[in-house]
Amino acid sequence: GRVVLRFDFSAENNRLPVSESTRFGTLVGASVAMRVCFAMMERAASRDVTVLLEGETGTGKSQAAQAIHDAGRRKDGPFLVVDCGAIPAHLLESELFGHEKGAFTGAVHRRAGVFEEAIGGTVFLDEIGELPAELQPKLLRVLENREIRRVGSNTYQPVDVRLMAATHRDLRAEVNAGRFRSDLFFRLAVLRIPLPPLRQRPEDLPLLVEGILGSLGADRERTASLRTPDFLARLRYAAWPGNVRELRNYLERCLVFEEAVELTEDESRSGNPMEVDPSLPYADQRRRAVDDFERRYLRALLEKHQGKVAQAAVTAGMDRVHLYRLLRRHGIKP
């Protein structure tokens, strides 16, 4: 309680690079958050610097990597993707570095790995946070010396590739927890580009909806209801935990029925329950907030008591009949 904080404005300026473009590759966005990303991607594309793309699932990390590759000097070279979380650890080394004939059971032929196949181009390691600990020093050597050694070989060979990686994890926290090598992290994070989640850039929804519907080949006349201000306003209040990927799935579902279908419960649950829209009547806003609170409270209450309504009613301090009435109202089964 005896600490005093003082903030003084200095004469120094911290310039924030913002792109003039609202599109980079297949990514679109007019928000400041996305145009800052575009500015960093434009700089990354102009050089062969190693890039680490960070962000939640569905934010477009793979599309960003492809766009950086396509805008760089290696655009005519291969762009190969390896999902580090989808390949078993005992196969991932061979996938990355290749193997010699007879290196292990089943290795009946010599096989070139991704780094060899991508010479002159780019290797994109998706979900780099899932890379097994035993492979991390080998990847570090690739980054430092640009050379690889096939499984079963005693010699190293140079590879001319650019490396980009992506993760939904906080790699710095993984380093602090001892699950990821610090030296590898710093070699990967030469240029870190965080992609913002959809809930932090709701002003981009009209551009995203237009772009997604266009990529799906939707007829404008038959999908006019998916471009109305009311429909876009509904989208702004959704949580979108799956971000742009989830938005695309929802719009595809709307195209199947050729109308604006209801959002699922997970989609419609607001990421910020306290957010309000002053353009709507007070009663409507209050009812929405109360309903959202009641649904979340009732689910948590039942989960705590393994669905036993009598015990849940005691904890909630209400009559069991009233609790049953609330459950029926919100369509929740104990």
Calculate the alpha carbon distances from 222 to 77, 212, 227, 235 in Å: 40, 15, 11, 19
pLDDT at 320 (0 to 100): 86
pLDDT at 276 (0 to 100): 63
Architecture of the domain defined by 23-196: 3-Layer(aba) Sandwich (3.40)
| Spatial separation of the C-alpha atoms in residues 26 and 123, rounded to whole Å | 19
Please check the confidence at residue 288 and state whether its pLDDT lies above 80: no
Give alpha helix (H) positions in 237-280: 243-257, 265-268
Buried b / exposed e over 80-111, threshold 16 CB at 10 Å, is: bbbbbeeeeeeebbbbbbbbbeebeeeeeeeb
Terminal Cα-to-Cα distance of the chain (whole angstroms): 47
Band of pLDDT at residue 334, cut at 50, 70 and 90: confident
What is the average pLDDT across 238-242? 87
Residues 6+ apart with CB under 8 A from 328: none
pLDDT at 64 (0 to 100): 97
What is the average pLDDT across 168-182? 92
pLDDT at 110 (0 to 100): 87
β-pairing verdict for 162-167 and 122-126: parallel
Strand partners for 24: 27
How much of the chain exceeds pLDDT 90, in percent? 54
Residues 6+ apart with CB under 8 A from 113: 94, 95, 96, 97, 98, 99, 148, 150
Residues 6+ apart with CB under 8 A from 26: 60, 63, 66, 67, 211, 215
Q: What is the mean pLDDT of the chain?
A: 88
- Which tokens is 195 given? 């992609």
pLDDT at 306 (0 to 100): 81
φ, ψ (nearest 5 deg) of residue 123: -110, 125
What is the average pLDDT across 141-164? 93
More confident residue, 123 or 329: 123
Please check the confidence at residue 6 and state whether its pLDDT lies above 70: yes
| Spatial separation of the C-alpha atoms in residues 56 and 260, rounded to whole Å | 26
Q: Are 28 and 208 in contact (CB under 8 A)?
A: yes
Q: Where exactly are the structural domains of the chain?
A: 23-196, 201-268, 282-330
pLDDT at 271 (0 to 100): 46
- Give pLDDT tens digits for 39-84: 999 999 999 999 999 999 999 999 999 999 999 999 999 999 999 9
* Amino acid in the structure at residue 250: Y
Band of pLDDT at residue 280, cut at 50, 70 and 90: low
Please check the confidence at residue 249 and state whether its pLDDT lies above 50: yes
What is the average pLDDT across 79-107? 89
| Spatial separation of the C-alpha atoms in residues 309 and 294, rounded to whole Å | 15
What is the average pLDDT across 185-193? 96
β-pairing verdict for 147-148 and 157-158: antiparallel
* Amino acid in the structure at residue 105: T
